[in-house]
Homo-oligomer: A and B are copies of this chain.
Amino acid sequence: MQLAVKETEPAVEAVSHRKMIEIDDLSLVFQTNDGPVHALSDINLTIRQGDFVSFIGPSGCGKTTLLRVIADLERQTAGSIKVDGTSPEDARKNRLYGYVFQAPALLPWRTIAKNCAVPMEISGQSAAHQTSQIDKYLTMVGLQDFHQKYPWQLSGGMQQRASIARALCIEPELMLMDEPFGALDEITRDHMNMELLKIWEQTKKTVVFVTHSIAEAVLLSTHIVVMSPRPGRITKVIESPLPKLKTLALRDTEAFHQLAAEIRAALADEHAID
């Protein structure tokens, strides 16, 4: 299956909002000892302000790499990308986005609260503002009693939640999240999903979200980008027909199952056990 995205208008689109991310014919090749790895190939994608876009696809299809290109952690080898109308580098320097990594990446020598403070310290926020933000978001992720603990005193899931709180504290325009809930159990994950939806609905921020879970992608997204490996490319972009205001109950609806089935089919198309 060849990607049919370029020919038509970019599929990810929401009415009357400005373009947040514009990717044109973007490719990225890693040079390694074993020869070049085509991590991303001919990516075309537009994400508008207020969208909630999920990347889904098998391991190694380039989801993380694409997110890193947006965050200016990696540079494309061909094609172009604009973030909020500027280069990714300028967007980063303007502190436009918050990034949640696949691993918690907490500093082991700082308490949870002090870890959350790092980005605010760096952008020079007042101490009072720092404390109130930390209180707010640590409570939101259910870690209100763990301010003074060190990362290694928490379970993996709790660490991951702390890292989400850290990204939320600076309330960025754009949230880039790389499988943020991979380490959580289903119930906590449901809870975190709903919290994330709440924040997104309230603030109308843009979210780019990487996940392995079809259910999660369906539950959260306005647009689902299905990717495929070797070389990493977009095989399909699905716009969600579900209402913007979502609840967990949605999961038992026909529309939900249908969308899930559509994604599963798109994934299975390209998938063979490696």
A161 to chain B, nearest CB (A): 9
**Contact of A59 with B188 in the complex, beta carbons under 8 Å:** yes
Mark the stretch among A17-25, A87-95, A266-274 that contacts chain B: A266-274
A213 close to B (CB within 8 Å) = yes
A204 an interface residue at 8 Å Cβ cutoff? no
Does B59 contact A156, Cβ atoms closer than 8 Å?
Answer: yes
Q: A186 and B157: CB pair below 8 A?
A: no
Asked if B142 and A273 make an inter-chain contact with CB atoms under 8 angstroms apart, the answer reads yes
Interchain CB contact under 8 A, A185 and B58: yes
Contacting residue for A142 out of B158, B187, B191, B274, CB 8 A: B274
Cβ A188 vs Cβ B273 within 8 A:
yes
Check: A205 CB closer than 8 A to any chain B CB.
no
Contact B267 A187 (CB under 8 A): yes
Chain B: minimal CB distance from A263 (Å)? 10
Q: Within 8 Å of chain B (Cβ to Cβ): is A60?
A: yes
Q: Write out, one digit per residue, whether chain A residues 136-169 have a CB within 8 A of any chain B CB (1) or not (0).
A: 0000001000000000000111100000000000
Q: Does A184 contact B (CB under 8 A)?
A: yes
A contacts with B, residue count (CB < 8 A): 26
Chain B residues whose CB sits within 8 angstroms of the CB of A157 once the complex forms: 59-60
**A232: B residues at CB distance < 8 A:** none
Residues of chain B within 8 A (CB-CB) of A187 are 58, 267-268, 271, 273
A186 pairs with B158, CB closer than 8 A: no
For A232-274 the 0/1 string (1 means CB < 8 A from B) is 0000000000000000000010000100000010011001011
User: Is A118 part of the binding interface, using a Cβ–Cβ cutoff of 8 Å?
Assistant: no
Is the beta-carbon distance between A185 and B156 smaller than 8 angstroms?
no
Provide the residues of chain B in CB contact with A158, threshold 8 Å.
59, 274
In the complex, what's the smallest C-beta–C-beta distance from A55 to chain B, in angstroms? 12
Q: Which residues of B lie under 8 Å from residue A98 when comparing CB positions?
A: none
Partner of A214, one of B60, B186, B264, B271: B186
Chain B residue with minimal CB distance to A156?
A: B59
A75 at the interface (CB under 8 A from B): no
From B59, B185, B213, B271, A59 is in contact (CB under 8 Å) with B185
Task: Show the binding face of A for B, using Cβ within 8 Å.
Answer: 57-60, 142, 155-158, 184-188, 191, 212-214, 252, 257, 264, 267-268, 271, 273-274
Given contacts A58-B188, A186-B213, 7 further A-B contacts (CB under 8 A): A59-B157, A59-B158, A142-B274, A186-B264, A187-B267, A187-B273, A252-B257
The 7 closest A-B pairs by CB, nearest first: A142-B273, A59-B157, A185-B212, A58-B185, A187-B271, A59-B185, A191-B273
